[in-house]
């Protein structure tokens, strides 16, 4: 111990296994964390108050780990100098350099000729300054996501600011590919928590757009407000721009999107010689979506869509802005609704408030507005201690049925709009019981509908429909003691389960005929007695694999039997169409799924009567990551017969190939036989990038070629706003 009040304890541990020498340096006992040094050789100078360690040196101090070949530490100032393979690890960043000056007390220092890694970024600088655990500054260097010593691309700058685990900032950067400078960036900043790229460019060519370039710039206003700015060029259509914003608040989260173009159509869709046809069209799209989980039982959802399309209104209704510019969204919903929905769950019931308004007059005939509609649904609950149960569902609404109008004002509508105020409620009493091995649940109830007026405007009484019925089901099973790995099927016992189900429903003729009611939807069109039974037979074959039950085969047959229909069917009671469904999983890497319809209803003179009218199947093989094969078929009797193939295969670590092929083999006059669509994609791994070249041919729409470069460090960078082909599962039919 010294007289200066500084207690120093030096403990040297020498062992045959060469774990090293451990030195504990204490400064003001119980106030300073010790510096722990592990080294092969150790020297301590009491005059200089200095420890010198050499060999394999390792120091752990306050969450930082330093390794080197030689280290000198002043025990009073805590200043250290590391030489030879100096390496510092500190909470999300690793820095290596030829020499390092480091103060263990304030955890700051300078690393010379530094190489750094802060996932997913790599870089090299002349000097790296460690300001604190949260901030590093690189001087005269570059950053990249390429891990090679000589990277494929890099961003060179005088300063590179790194905030480990948070973000990276580069000022006045030059983007270089190899040694070739390509682009100047005044400022580059991105979050290390964000897997998406800030800039994306997608070039290509297609029949509809001509040559095009789609670009998107991501921005971060705050941690809770981010988005994209779009600037796109299409040689046939002109320039389009827009923005998108994602936000999170105390009142939920949502997104906003705006996209606008003053389209100058140079395609063959618009005659360039006709002087009466406009050459410029104003087209834009606004979308706002919001969701708020108010509490565990209450949530609010809202969506707003506004589409202005002068090309549709003035030129031809066949044009559709969503279809032309946002085909992915068009596939999901050709006429997306605008609404607000509030849902609340009670213990045994739920309440929904819906406000739905038509915001685009050209939406197709029969668009239903709900201003508002309130739904209340009560699950089946037991009545006191009796064997009876009660369930109810009610809806009260102010309904407007809007018909198509592409013109302004709406006086050009081909049919008038309809309006009604309506309360519709259904109440049932049931008494579930078991007779022998059969579960039976008979019920009785009524459906009352209150209208504010008849179709002619006069008052109307309550419409009542009496209903009754029952549901019956049972289950049979048998276990077979079969344990075999024949053909690799891995049978560990087999269980066959048969489940027949019959649901009988009787609805008496309504007290008010539908002809006296304003026709809004299916609630108003009921006009006859309904007397039918739904039939289903389910067969399952199960086994166990890896201790879990697996459905090897799932086969179901569905139909319904109609008793004495009064809809003009002269056959009397009859069986409806029979539906078949099957799913087979012989192996974990193979699945077979199919369905079919057997025509058993309608006019007997129909050429399809008592024949299979359609059949579909899909066969998929999954041999591992990026190695799949699939094919399928969609068959309609005397109609379409589409056969599709899908193939994706990782040839080696560098190359991947995929293809999609759709061929029409049908006999319909409206469908041309032969190849309908084909697409080929070749992907090349470029170490830090992936290059994807796709070639698509679609009959009647021409050819499309696009080339995509994707940074592997940001695999989720793709935006779904382009016309790049969205591959369906094998056997599906494209709607494009």
130 near 88, Cβ under 8 Å? yes
Q: Output the CA–CA distances (angstroms, integers) from residue 146 to 142, 143, 156, 278, 619, in the order listed.
A: 11, 9, 14, 50, 40
How far, in Å, CA of 381 to CA of 389, rounded?
5
As a whole number, mean pLDDT of residues 549-562 equals 93
DSSP string, 482-523: EEE-GGG--EEEEEEEEEEEEEEEEEPPPSS-GGGS---STT
Q: Pick the more confident residue, 648 or 313.
A: 648
* Each residue's pLDDT tens digit, 177-225: 888 888 887 877 777 766 555 677 777 777 778 888 888 887 878 878 8
Mean pLDDT in residue range 370-388 = 94
Rounded distance between C-alpha atoms, residue 22 and residue 42, angstroms: 9
Q: Give the integer Cα–Cα distance in Å for 173 and 182.
A: 11
Inform me whether the pLDDT recorded for 2 exceeds 80: no
Q: How far is CA 457 from the centre of its chain?
A: 48
Query: Cα separation of 715 and 685, whole Å?
Result: 13
The pLDDT value given to residue 276:
65
Q: Is 409 in contact with 417 (CB distance < 8 Å)?
A: no
Please give the structure tokens belonging to residue 339.
């609404």
Which H or E element spans position 331? helix 327-332
Residue 278 CB burial class (10 angstroms; 0-12, 13-18, ≥19): middle
Pairwise CA distance, residues 61 & 55, whole Å: 19
Identify whether the C-beta of residue 579 lies closer than 8 Å to the C-beta of residue 559. yes
Q: What pLDDT is stored for residue 245 in this prediction?
A: 93
> How is residue 294 written in tokens?
């108010």
Three-class secondary structure of residue 332 per DSSP: helix
Concatenated DSSP letters for 93-136?
EEEEEEEEEEETTTTEEEEEEEEEEETTEEEEEEEEEEEETTEE
Q: How far, CA to CA in Å, does 648 sit from each of 599, 627, 628, 642, 681?
A: 37, 6, 5, 20, 9
Beta-carbon contacts of residue 385 (< 8 Å; ≥ 6 apart):
none
The residue to which tokens 């929904």 are assigned: 352
What's the average model confidence in pLDDT over 391-405? Answer: 89
- DSSP-derived letter for residue 175 is E
| Token pair belonging to 614 | 């359609």
**Highest-scoring range by mean pLDDT, 158-167, 252-261, 312-321:** 252-261
Query: What is the CA angle 265-269-273, rounded to 5?
Result: 75
Q: How many helices (H) and strands (E) does the chain have?
A: 3, 42
Mean pLDDT of 101-109: 86
345-356 tens-digit pLDDT: 999 999 999 999
Does the pLDDT at position 613 exceed 60?
Answer: yes
Average pLDDT over residues 57-81: 88
Quote the pLDDT of residue 399. 93
DSSP 322: H
User: Picking from 198-202, 326-330, 548-552, 661-665, which range would have the lowest pLDDT averaged per residue?
Assistant: 198-202
| Tokens (6 digits) for 183 | 């682009």
Place of tokens 């960043």: 93
The DSSP element (H or E) to which 141 belongs, if any, is strand 135-144
DSSP secondary structure, 607-629, as one string: TTTTSEEEEEEEEEEE-STTEEE
CB atoms within 10 A of CB 407: 13
Token digits of residue 394: 């009610």
The pLDDT-based confidence of 76 (bands split at 50, 70, 90) is confident
What pLDDT does residue 194 have?
A: 61
**pLDDT at position 115:** 92
Alpha-carbon span 176 to 174, nearest angstrom: 6
- Residue 121's nearest CA partner among 166, 88, 83, 84 is 166
List, in sequence order, every beta strand (DSSP E) within 623-701: 627-636, 641-650, 655-664, 674-686, 689-698
Tracing tokens 């690793």 back to the chain, one arrives at: 94
CA contacts within 13 A on the Cβ side of 622: 11
Q: Which residues contact 435 (CB under 8 A, 6 or more apart)?
A: none
Count CB-CB contacts under 10 A for residue 606: 12
Note the maximum CA span of the chain: 116
Q: Which of 143-152, 325-334, 669-678, 711-720 bottoms out in mean pLDDT, i.e. has the lowest?
A: 711-720
> Which one, of 60, 121, 109, lies nearest residue 89 by Cα?
60
Q: What is the DSSP string of 448-462?
A: EEEES--TTS-----
User: pLDDT, tens digit, for every residue of 444-485?
Assistant: 999 999 998 888 778 887 999 999 999 999 999 999 998 888
Find out whether the peptide bond into 674 is cis, omega within 30 degrees of 0. Answer: no
What pLDDT sits at residue 32? 58
Name which residue leads in pLDDT, 610 or 82: 82
**Six token digits for residue 392:** 């109810």
Count Cβ atoms below 10 Å from residue 449 Cβ, excluding itself.
22
What percent of the chain lies above the pLDDT cut of 90? Answer: 43
**138-147, 490-499, 666-675, 683-692 — which is least confidently predicted?**
666-675
CB half-sphere exposure, 588, CA atoms < 13 A: 10
For the segment 16-67, what is each residue's pLDDT rounded down to a tens digit?
233 333 334 433 333 456 778 889 888 888 888 889 999 999 988 877 889 9
C-alpha 346: how far from chain center:
30
Interatomic CA distance for residues 260 and 386, integer angstroms: 64
Name the β-bridge partners of 287: 257, 305
Q: What pLDDT score was predicted for residue 304?
A: 96
User: What is the DSSP pairing of strand 199-206 with strand 210-222?
Assistant: antiparallel
Looking at residue 106, its pLDDT comes to 82
In whole angstroms, give the CA distance from residue 600 to residue 581.
17
Other CB atoms within 10 Å distance of the CB of residue 690: 16
pLDDT score, position 464: 94
How would residue 10 be classed by pLDDT, with cut points 50, 70 and 90? very low
Return mean pLDDT, the chain: 83
Backbone Cα Rg of the chain: 36
CA distance 182 to 174: 7
CB 254 within 8 A of CB 291: yes
Beta carbons within 8 Å of 408's beta carbon, 6+ residues apart: 361
- For the chain, the residue count is 736
Q: What is the pLDDT of residues 709-721, one digit of tens each?
A: 777 766 544 332 2
DSSP for residue 727: P
Q: Identify the pLDDT of residue 21.
A: 37
User: Can you read off the two tokens belonging to residue 16?
Assistant: 């045959």
pLDDT for res 690: 81
Extended beta strands in 298-437, E state: 298-309, 338-345, 349-357, 367-382, 389-402, 418-430, 433-435
Check pLDDT > 80 for residue 519. Answer: yes
pLDDT of residue 11: 33
DSSP for residue 410: G
Higher pLDDT, 371 or 601: 371
The residue among 350 and 729 whose pLDDT is bigger is 350
Q: Pick 604 or 495 by higher pLDDT.
A: 495
Instruction: Pull the structure tokens for residue 653.
Output: 């670590």
Whether 115 contacts 124, CB under 8 Å: yes
**pLDDT at residue number 377:** 96
**What is the SS3 assignment for 327?**
helix
Of 543, 551, 547, nearest to 492 by C-alpha is 543
């Amino acid at each position: 111990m010294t007289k200066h009040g500084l207690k120093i304890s030096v403990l040297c541990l020498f062992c045959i296994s060469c774990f090293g020498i451990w030195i504990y340096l204490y400064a003001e006992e119980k106030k300073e964390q010790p510096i722990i040094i592990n080294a092969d050789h150790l020297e301590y100078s009491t005059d200089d108050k200095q420890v010198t360690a050499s060999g394999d040196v390792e120091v752990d101090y306050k969450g930082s780990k330093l390794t080197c070949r030689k280290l000198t530490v002043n025990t009073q100032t805590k200043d250290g100098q590391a030489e030879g393979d100096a390496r510092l690890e500190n909470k999300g960043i690793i820095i290596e350099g030829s020499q390092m000056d480091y103060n263990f007390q304030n955890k700051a220092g300078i690393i010379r000729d530094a190489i750094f890694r802060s996932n997913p970024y790599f870089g090299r600088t002349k000097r790296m300054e460690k300001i604190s655990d949260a901030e590093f500054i690189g001087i005269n260097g570059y950053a990249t996501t390429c891990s090679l010593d000589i990277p494929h691309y890099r961003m060179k700058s005088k300063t590179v600011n790194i905030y480990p685990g948070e973000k990276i900032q580069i000022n006045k950067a030059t983007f270089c590919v190899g040694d070739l400078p390509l682009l100047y960036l005044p400022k580059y900043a991105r979050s290390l928590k964000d897997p998406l790229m800030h800039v994306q460019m997608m070039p290509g060519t297609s029949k509809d757009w001509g040559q095009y370039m789609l670009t998107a710039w991501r921005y971060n206003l705050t941690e809770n407000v981010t988005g994209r700015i779009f600037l796109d060029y299409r040689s046939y259509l002109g320039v389009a721009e827009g923005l998108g914003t994602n936000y999170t608040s105390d009142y939920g989260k949502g997104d906003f999107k705006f996209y606008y173009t003053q389209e100058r159509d140079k395609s063959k869709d618009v005659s360039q010689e006709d002087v009466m046809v406009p050459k410029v069209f104003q087209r834009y799209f606004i979308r706002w979506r919001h969701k708020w989980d108010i509490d565990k039982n209450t949530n609010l959802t809202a969506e707003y869509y506004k589409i202005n399309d002068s090309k549709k209104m003035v030129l031809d209704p066949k044009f559709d802005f969503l279809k032309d510019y946002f085909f992915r969204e068009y596939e999901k919903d050709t006429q997306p609704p605008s609404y607000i929905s509030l849902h609340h769950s009670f213990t045994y019931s739920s309440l929904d408030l819906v406000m739905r308004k038509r915001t685009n007059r050209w939406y197709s005939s029969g668009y239903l507005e709900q201003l508002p509609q309130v739904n209340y649904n009560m699950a089946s609950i037991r009545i006191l201690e009796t064997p009876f149960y009660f369930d109810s569902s009610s809806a009260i609404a102010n309904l407007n049925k809007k018909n198509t109008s592409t013109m302004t004002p709406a006086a050009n509508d081909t049919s008038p709009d309809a309006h009604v105020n309506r309360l519709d409620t259904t109440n049932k009493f049931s008494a579930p019981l078991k007779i022998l091995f059969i579960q039976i649940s008979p019920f009785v109830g009524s459906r009352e509908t209150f209208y504010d007026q008849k179709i002619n405007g006069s008052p109307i009484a309550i419409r009542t429909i009496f209903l009754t019925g029952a549901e019956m089901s049972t289950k049979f099973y048998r276990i077979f003691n079969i344990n075999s790995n024949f053909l690799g099927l891995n049978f560990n016992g087999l269980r066959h389960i048969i489940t027949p189900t019959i649901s009988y429903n009787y609805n008496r003729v309504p007290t008010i005929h539908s002809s006296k009611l304003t026709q809004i939807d299916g609630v108003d069109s009921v006009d006859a007695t309904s007397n039918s039974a739904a039939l289903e037979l389910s067969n399952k074959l199960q086994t166990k694999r890896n201790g879990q039950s697996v459905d090897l085969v799932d086969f179901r047959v569905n139909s319904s039997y109609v008793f004495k229909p009064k809809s003009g069917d002269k056959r009397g009671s009859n069986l409806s169409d029979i539906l078949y469904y099957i799913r087979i999983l012989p192996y974990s890497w193979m699945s077979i799924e199919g369905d079919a319809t057997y025509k058993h209803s309608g006019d007997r003179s129909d050429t399809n009567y008592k024949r299979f009218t359609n059949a579909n199947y899909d066969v998929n093989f999954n041999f591992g990551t990026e190695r799949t094969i699939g094919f399928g078929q969609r068959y309609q009797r005397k109609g379409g017969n589409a056969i599709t193939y899908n193939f994706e295969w990782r040839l080696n670590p560098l190359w991947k190939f995929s293809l999609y092929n759709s061929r029409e083999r049908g006999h319909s006059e409206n469908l041309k036989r032969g190849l309908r669509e084909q697409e080929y994609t070749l992907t090349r791994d470029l170490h830090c990038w992936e290059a994807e070249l796709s070639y698509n041919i679609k009959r009647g729409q021409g050819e499309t070629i696009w080339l995509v470069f994707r940074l592997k460090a940001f695999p989720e960078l793709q935006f779904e706003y382009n016309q790049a082909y969205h591959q369906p599962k094998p056997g599906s039919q494209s709607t494009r």
